[in-house]
Amino acid sequence: MAGEKNKEKLILDSAVALFTSRGYLATRMEDVAMSAGISKGLTYFYYKNKEDLFMALTKKAFDQFKDEFRDVYRSKGKSGLEMISDLMVKIVAFAKANQVYYDSILNFLDLLKKYNNPETRKLIDPKTLESTHFQKLLEIHHEPAKIGIMMVSQGIKDGSIRAELHAEITFYTIWSMIIGYEKMLGPIEFEGKDFKLHAENWELGFLRLMQEMLKGTLQATKKTTVQGSLF
């Protein structure tokens, strides 16, 4: 049993390395087998096809992603707002350190959008739908978000996040903001006459804006018009 698990891990680790260096489309199952140092037939014994292998990789990505959420939630003596702030930093760090895993998570969310629509579900490759790992993902993909929702609920309870917010809606809104933020980290760069924007100062600004929104201390100020008098 341990030997089988080691071979599965070896295949998966080889796939991650190849997907990172060559990309998913350019990687063949033969390449994975060769990189892992095992036969092509044995590779197909553990994973029926490349789609099944990628779903296994995605399942592992969600498991690790959940661990990041759990580590933040278990931190001692922190308010809900502090946990959400830490989570934002953790997610971005996870994406940088595990780009293939993070991309597979985003890919699955896109896949899920198609799956949940009867009209677009038929556009999904049948090999993906038949993967046992895909079926497991349908069951567990909400787990990281559930922990994130608990963080927001904790913040509402301890007063660090404003009480009128809906925990589920708030968390998914925050997560969508973080996804957009991470995607823009590469292309963002602005240099104007009075202000320069780059990844470092944007991170601080993004984090502060998110915190102010959750605390409810962000208020727009309207400029007052001062009327002069001739008399």
The model's pTM: 0.85
Given this model, what pLDDT does residue 78 score? 96
- Residue 82 predicted with pLDDT over 50: yes
Enumerate residues 6+ apart whose C-beta is below 8 A from 175: 145, 148
pLDDT tens per residue, range 66-81 = 999 999 999 999 999 9
Which has more pLDDT, 201 or 108?
108
- Residue 1 predicted with pLDDT over 50: no
Name the residue ranges covered by the structural domains of the chain.
Answer: 1-47, 54-215
Classify domain 54-215 by CATH architecture.
Orthogonal Bundle (1.10)
Average pLDDT over residues 1-26: 85
Given this model, what pLDDT does residue 229 score? 38
pLDDT tens per residue, range 88-122 = 999 999 999 999 999 999 999 999 999 999 999 99
Average pLDDT over residues 176-188: 82
- Tell which residue, 215, 225, 223, 220, has the closest CA to residue 85: 215
Which has more pLDDT, 222 or 5?
5
Q: Per mean pLDDT, which range of 7-11, 136-140, 187-191 is the poorest?
A: 187-191
CB atoms near residue 58 (< 10 Å): 25
Mean pLDDT of the chain: 88
Tell me the pLDDT band of 6, cut-offs 50, 70 and 90.
confident
Given this model, what pLDDT does residue 221 score? 46
Average pLDDT over residues 196-224: 73
Given this model, what pLDDT does residue 152 score? 97
> Are the beta carbons of 94 and 65 closer than 8 angstroms?
yes
- Residue 223 predicted with pLDDT over 50: no
| Percent of the chain's residues with pLDDT above 90 | 76
pLDDT tens per residue, range 136-169 = 999 999 999 999 999 999 999 999 999 999 999 9
- Residue 226 predicted with pLDDT over 60: no
Per the CATH hierarchy, to which homologous superfamily does domain 1-47 belong? Homeodomain-like (1.10.10.60)
- The angle that helices 167-184 and 199-215 make with each other, rounded to 10 degrees, is 170
Given this model, what pLDDT does residue 188 score? 64
